[in-house]
Amino acid sequence: MDETLATQIKETAEVNALFNAIKHESEAQVGAIMGPLMGENPEFREYGDEIPGVIAPVIERVNAMSHEERRDRLDELAPEKLAELDEEAQEDDQILPDLPHADAADEIRMRVAPNPNGPWHIGHARMAAVVGTYKELYDGSFVCRFDDTDPETKRPDLGAYDAILDAIDYLGFEPDEVLRASDRLETYYEHARTLIDEGGAYTCSCPADEFSALKNAGEPCPHRDKDIEQVHEEFDSMVAGEYGEGEMVLRVKTDIEHKNPALRDFVAFRIIETPHPREEAAEYRCWPMLDFQSGIDDHLTNISHIIRGIDLQDSAKRQQFVYDYFGWEYPEVIHWGHVQVDAYDVPMSTSTIKELIEEGELDGWDDPRAPTIASLKRRGIRGEAIVEAMTGLGMSTSNVDLAMSTVYANNRDLIDEKTDRAFFVRDSGEHDAIEKSVIDGPAAGHPAVHPNHEDRGNREIPVESAVLVESDDLPPVGERLWLKGYGCVRHTEDGFEYTGDDLDVTREEDVDIVHWVPSDENLDVRLRTMGGDVTGYAEPGVSEYDVGDLLQFVRVGFVRIDNHDEGRSVAYYTHP
């Protein structure tokens, strides 16, 4: 091998070694370099035997460098390779796709537009998670607009406004602007009047079925060509509340022969006699339809990108007619599929959850059996675990399934290391707490506060005379059992006879390791789970934890302490 070739091999090997070491943040190996080196450079192959010796010192030098030094060196030798690495790393970090035409917007402004007819179920978190994440990616703005302009069929719930803002906060986002559409009626009226002036809207008193028959036939109703003065007068009367429900509507003039009948002269305003629950809006009777109201607001609040369900494609098309009259440019729209969630018996529907609460089947929006944001929060699940799972669903137009196990896995990563361990012996449902006397055992058990962190010390669980274990953990008489943090006992006719604390027996003789609590000094606990309440007994130290603290009940799961009242503590089950 001549000098030139050797230099060439060394340089190529160095680039490969740097690339791999930076990519994996680990040391480069001669073996791992050889494959690509020969594959990409067939001219090296005849020297295959000599090459490891030639490149070994190069690899050694690379491995002696810090991460930063490796980056600098790669930038020097092959800047295009470093750029490739940075690009890959960025793609890995960013789960959501780029927004379409993001460069064309002065600022990325997106909105969540909840109907406050109830607090949020889990599915609602998706929009906030995605809009909040895009806000962070683009340094943009997050608008929360309550689309509360239907006081009757989607009647707003006064408590839901704050509950929704709390949910957004819990997910880790803060809206830059909060609007209530029911504060903005005068703005919608003003735009309706401009539309009337443009010849873009008319008042119509056709009974609904008659209009529908004409519309389906592609025929205009007799009101379509009224003069503008009369339309103004009648619209003013609508605003003044002079018509009853169904007597008069304001329609947007589109194309009465449009191939999609849903787009033909749709209703923009109608009369609703039921007063709005918000005092500020209680006097209004003439209400905009959602497509009109949200279309106007999206423009007036400079929304650059809208995310909307794939089933709502007609909304953009209807609103486009209004935008054309005003000469406005429509925001970018991204349609996505619906999200479904597994693991719950209660359907993810605001109206169903509301009914079950009213019927007393659920204790409230934060009942652990309810698929709601409030319940996840009360169970001790972190908002960021939900955001991560939601953004991980991507932006596909197909329906997607949110697996609660993903939320739980994310949350476990966040809490496991910090969360102390405790024992809880179940005594309801399939589990019975069985009392056994302890014979000749120590006066206390000392299980670790956290198995991975010796420095956090050990708990002290006093054992006066007897312990409780779960019935299915009890071995046959004559066999042994390891009481975690206490020692080994043999199950006899008299109870548990202590046999020592040499943990090797559990490995050599297949002795089960179980959790336990003292029978005389323990804490009554009601554990609220998605499958109903479980009662049992916790070790006494659990009473020292504050409301809101998390614990792992060993072999049961993570829990959040909810209260310590009335001689019985309550905990909410977080996840396994």
253 CB-side CA count, 13 A: 21
Find tokens 């609660």 and name the residue. Answer: 404
Specify the stretch interacting with Zn ion by CB under 5 A; choose among 8-16, 19-27, 218-226, 471-479: 218-226
State the nearest-atom distance from the C-beta of 230 to Zn ion, in Å.
13
Nearer to Zn ion, 221 or 374 (CB): 221
Asked if 17 interacts with Zn ion (CB under 5 A), we say: no
User: In this structure, what token pair is assigned to residue 154?
Assistant: 């989607």
Asked if residue 468 lies in contact with residue 537, where contact means CB atoms within 8 angstroms, the answer is yes
Nearest distance, CB of residue 193 and Zn ion, angstroms = 19
In the chain, the amino acid numbered 81 is: K
Closest approach of Cβ 260 to Zn ion, in Å? 20
Cβ burial of 360 (10 Å; 0-12, 13-18, 19+) is exposed
Residue 211 CB, shortest distance to Zn ion, in Å, is 6
- Binding string, residues 44-83; x marks residues near Zn ion by CB under 5 A: ----------------------------------------
The span from the first CA to the last CA of the chain, in angstroms, equals 62
What is the distance of C-alpha 498 from the center of its chain? 49
Q: What span, in angstroms and rounded, lies between the C-alpha atoms of 450 and 430?
A: 28
In the complex, minimum distance from the CB of residue 249 to Zn ion, in angstroms, rounded to a whole number: 8
| Helix segments in 65-124, DSSP class H | 67-77, 79-93
Kindly determine how many residues on this chain lie close enough to bind Zn ion according to the rule CB under 5 A.
4
For Zn ion, give the closer residue by CB, 221 or 346.
221
Of residues 39 and 207, the one with the C-beta less far from Zn ion: 207
Residue 287 neighbours by CB distance under 10 Å = 24
Which is nearer to Zn ion, 270 or 378 (by Cβ)? 270
- Give the interface segment with Zn ion, choosing from 11-19, 188-196, 214-222, 530-538 (CB under 5 A): 214-222
Q: How far is the CB of 204 from Zn ion (least distance, A)?
A: 3
SS3 333: strand
Q: Which is nearer to Zn ion, 204 or 402 (CB)?
A: 204
Q: For Zn ion, which is the closer residue by CB, 73 or 223?
A: 223
Q: Round to whole Å and give the CA distance between 526 and 537.
A: 8
Name which of 231 and 527 has its Cβ closer to Zn ion: 231
Shorter beta-carbon distance to Zn ion: residue 262 or 547: 262
CB of 290 to Zn ion, least distance (A): 21
**Between residues 263 and 434, which has the closer beta carbon with respect to Zn ion?**
263
Stretch that binds Zn ion, among 132-140, 219-227, 316-324, 444-452 (CB under 5 A): 219-227
Residue pair 290/147 in contact (Cβ under 8 Å)? The answer is yes
Shortest Cβ 257–Zn ion spacing (Å): 16
Q: How far is the CB of 210 from Zn ion (least distance, A)?
A: 8
Out of 109, 111, 191, 223, name the contact with Zn ion by CB under 5 A. 223
CA–CA separation, 547 and 170 (whole Å): 18
CB of 219 to Zn ion, least distance (A): 11
Toward Zn ion, which CB reaches closer, 222 or 548? 222
The DSSP secondary structure of 502-536, one letter per residue, reads -THHHHHS-PPEE--EESSS-EEEEEEETTEEEEE
If the CB atoms of residues 98 and 219 are measured against Zn ion, the closer one turns out to be 219
In the complex, the smallest distance separating the C-beta of residue 215 from Zn ion, rounded to whole angstroms, is 10
Determine if 221 is a binding residue for Zn ion (CB under 5 A): yes
Site for Zn ion in 167-206 (CB under 5 A): 204, 206
For 32-40, the CB contacts below 8 A with 24+ separation are 33/59, 37/9, 37/12, 37/13, 40/12
Shorter beta-carbon distance to Zn ion: residue 244 or 347 = 244
Give the DSSP per-residue string, 408-449.
HHHHHHHHTTTPEEE-EEE-STT--EEEEEEES--SEE--BS
- Give backbone dihedrals phi and psi of 46, rounded to 5 degrees, phi first: -65, -15
The one-letter code for the residue type at 465 is S
Map 452-493 to HEC letters.
Answer: CCHHHCECCEECCCEEEEEHHHCCCCCCEEEECCCEEEEEEC
Q: Does 322 bind Zn ion (CB under 5 A)?
A: no
Stretch that binds Zn ion, among 124-132, 221-229, 271-279, 423-431 (CB under 5 A): 221-229
Shortest Cβ 295–Zn ion spacing (Å) = 22
- DSSP assignment letter at 26: S
Site for Zn ion in 391-420 (CB under 5 A): none
Q: How far apart are CA 427 and CA 516, in angstroms?
A: 12
Q: Which is nearer to Zn ion, 251 or 285 (CB)?
A: 251
Q: What are phi and psi for residue 564, nearest 5 degrees?
A: -120, 30
Q: How far is the CB of 223 from Zn ion (least distance, A)?
A: 4
Q: Would you say the C-alpha torsion 484, 489, 490, 496 has a positive or negative sign? A: negative
Return residues touching Zn ion (CB under 5 A). Answer: 204, 206, 221, 223
